[in-house]
Structure 1
Amino acid sequence: MAEITAALVKELREKSDAGMMDCKKALQETNGDVEAAMDWLRTKGLSKAAKKSDRAAAEGLVAGLISGDGKTGVLIELNAETDFVAKNDKFQQAARDIAKVALDVDGVEAISAAKLGSGDSVQDMVTNLIATIGENMRLRRSARLTVGEGAVALYLHNAQGEGVGRLGVLVALEGAGDQAKLKDVGRKIAMHVAGTPTPPLALTSDELDPAVVAKEREIQTQTAMESGKPREIAEKMVEGRIRKWQEEVVLLKQPFVMNPDQTIEQLIAETAKEAGGPVAVKAFVRFALGEGVDKGPAGPDLATEVAQMAGRA
């Protein structure tokens, strides 16, 4: 059996926040293997991380990062139990570190398993944070956009620190023209996605979720029928209403918040002329903290703040 030194016990205690004798017992049971001992403690329910794993984690931070060449951007959402933790330096740094990993590794499972410079995995880092800070945490989701030619722009709203906020948007613009111009326009579109009163559901009408369209169609049909119209006539009336709804929820059709007389589609056409070549929005991603976990708005007066920023742009 491997010698269970005081240094090994200390290392395990710092990682798990379990009691000294529990750490010694875990190391004895696992022949001095610290990682296996961590698993042993979690199995026995002796690690603080394990005890907190079933508690709701819907606060935290959205972190974003753009690669050095400007062609790849990532967003990640790291959750905790309270908004107080979002102000913790270690938690903020962990979110930034995860975003950095996400530049090269795509998907929550792959990111969680990826190694950091310390040799620990991202999941190890999160587990250690749980023990240190005392709240349940989880890497909830990630997104990665990349372009061959063009630029990926990032906008973080309600910033809590460098590279972290409560709402993040990525916009990928493809084009071979002026890259600085593309980056600037991309960021303005990202601000639009963050601040528009009706967040876009898709880039184009064709990309809308068929189930969402079907649900909206049924709602509009029922509304028309309640006015006394036969279903056949109501369905014809609905077509116009569906087109109007699509203009409200499709990014390219939305009025640009910084210039409501211009749609995003028209802004892109104008940008293409100024950039001296074709420009297209390849994709966008919007992460609002706690979205879908019974949370409130990502931040106060978001549309107003974006409009104010537009005036300073």
Structure 2
Amino acid sequence: MTTLEDAIRLVNEAGTDEELFGSADPHRGYLRLAALLHPDRAEPDAKAAATDAFVMLTNRWRARGTVAFGRYRVGAVAHTGDLANLHTVGRGLFLKQPRRPANNDLMEREATALRRIAEVGDPRYLPYVPRLVDTFRHRDPRNGQERRVNVLGSVPHLLSVAEVIRIRPDGLDPRDAAWIWRRLLVALGLAHRAGVVHGAVLPEHILIETTDHGVVLVDWCYSVVDGLDHVPATVPAYADWYPPEIHNRQPPGPGTDIAMAARSMIALMGGYAPAALVAFADGCSLPSVRSRPDDAWALLAELDDLLERLYGARKFRPLNL
């Protein structure tokens, strides 16, 4: 390719970045095309076409490696979840798309649950769950597959309880786990009063902010609203963490989430969990959902009483991992 006409034709017809910039040395390919297309070097009768192609070229180069999802442009995958990939699209904003179109219904569940919580939940506690910024269907131009996409807002740079367990395999000091458990019950209390059961309160879905002691409960794709359905799927790696009603495809209740939260917190504390907190968790995990506590706010008060008996008045403890 040595002529301006060839360069304009390539920019207008190239369907992929590899076709446009080449695969061996894309930067060199871009510079070669930019030199050919620069408007200052074009003859007067070709200046308009060269300018249009030059602008298109530079925009393609700046967006190289990104994919358009509606009005959002995303690059590499920032996080891989159970069934979806998350891309950063701004500070504290994440675009979430299912890897398989068959999971579009789970993405719709998440949007429905977060919309309900935002509409009727207590505004003071909304930061304990992601914020639904946008939801739409996106058709992949490469294969025509359509996916439900959710754009979520949350605090950036969070750490999952699963990651903490990997960092501290022997367990976390119960005085540190205490604030995570307390805030997790706040997130559940917020959701349950809005008529939403999370359905998958697992270590991977409990995110914490270690400096300011924040907790965000994520991945509402398995949620049930108003008890009208069963939890639609489980995370295979945690198959034995689910209470019986989920495996039996029965409607879950607040006690479903409370039991899974208790299991996650005992796993977090590991060998450091005192007998009193283990017994408290056992009371949250009885086989029948009807026998378990079903009010996260009342349970939080009971937990506070127990923690005060064990460790005295609450005080801030920096969590250094």
Give TM-score, length-normalised by structure 2: 0.28
Max Rg structure: 2
Give the number of the structure with larger relative contact order, counting CA–CA contacts within 8 Å between residues 6 or more apart. Answer: 1
